[in-house]
Amino acid sequence: MKKSDILKEIVTKKKQRIELAKKQIPEEVFKSKIQDLPPVQSLIKAISKPRTISLIAEIKKQSPSRGIIRQDFDPQELARIYQESGAQAISVLTEEDYFAGNITYLNEIKSQVKLPILRKDFILEEYQVYESRFYGADAILLIAELLSKEKLLQLIKLADSLGLECLVEAHTEKELKKALSLKIPLVGLNNRNLHTLEVDLKTTEKLFLFIPKDKVVVVESGIKNYQDILFLKILGVNAVLIGEAFMESADIKARVKEIMGW
């Protein structure tokens, strides 16, 4: 498999998964049941702390670049550990084929912790926005590269009407301009190239300069030590999203303290 095809492959598989999901639970079912759900928690509020860098700790079993990262995988237990370790929010990978995720993890984790939950997946359609709210997400990830400006606006508008916040992620200057043109409060900078899976922290250094001061900025991928955190703190980043460095660790609490410098 050529690495450059990975994003294409994931999106193709995801489209098939969405069609399957729609047959099992039609959109109308979610729409009717969402009405009775408790209000969502604000991810933006949770990670906007003055002069501090917040942590969105990620739960994921495997990834296309690494294969299985954590054998002993219990989403509820991991969420509890993250909350006890001082994380401000939790990111949950729900993509099935390449990350071994599951949408039901959202609900399971929600029952264990009081932190806002970000659903991280390849969100392409309105159906997934309704699904995210139904299963307990407080916020969703939207990848600027995968969606036209019109589609992004449509999904953000729907998410907003359901109380969900959107983290719009960019990896290049072009994607960042698209994200910023949407007048959104929350911007993600991903150091990982989703085509080649290569990671370069210089991506953040380069792109951060283009972001207006009033935005809440989350940096994703490749953050491995306290030096990285210090560098991002000096830049003025609001939060980091870290998964692999914790998932591969035998002692997650100690690793969180070590990387975050808490």
**Does 221 participate in catalysis according to the annotation?**
yes
Return the structure tokens found at 41. 């928690």
C-alpha span between 146 and 18 (Å, rounded): 15
Tell which residue, 187, 134, 130, has the closest CA to residue 158: 130
**Does 27 participate in catalysis according to the annotation?**
no
**Does 175 participate in catalysis according to the annotation?**
no
**Does 60 participate in catalysis according to the annotation?**
yes
**Does 110 participate in catalysis according to the annotation?**
no
Return the structure tokens found at 212. 């207006």
**Does 42 participate in catalysis according to the annotation?**
no
Tell which residue, 89, 99, 164, has the closest CA to residue 128: 164
Name the catalytic one among 54, 221, 238, 244: 221
Helix (H, G, I), strand (E, B) or coil at 93: strand
**Does 9 participate in catalysis according to the annotation?**
no
Name the catalytic one among 14, 58, 175, 244: 58
Name the catalytic one among 190, 191, 193, 238: 190
Name the catalytic one among 14, 61, 110, 120: 120
Name the catalytic one among 169, 178, 238, 244: 169
Name the catalytic one among 125, 131, 220, 244: 220
Name the catalytic one among 60, 61, 110, 178: 60
Residue ranges of alpha helices (H) inside the chain are 6-24, 27-34, 43-47, 75-84, 104-110, 126-135, 149-161, 173-180, 202-208, 226-235, 244-247, 252-260
C-alpha span between 27 and 31 (Å, rounded): 6
Q: Which active-site residues does the annotation give?
A: 58, 60, 120, 169, 190, 220-221
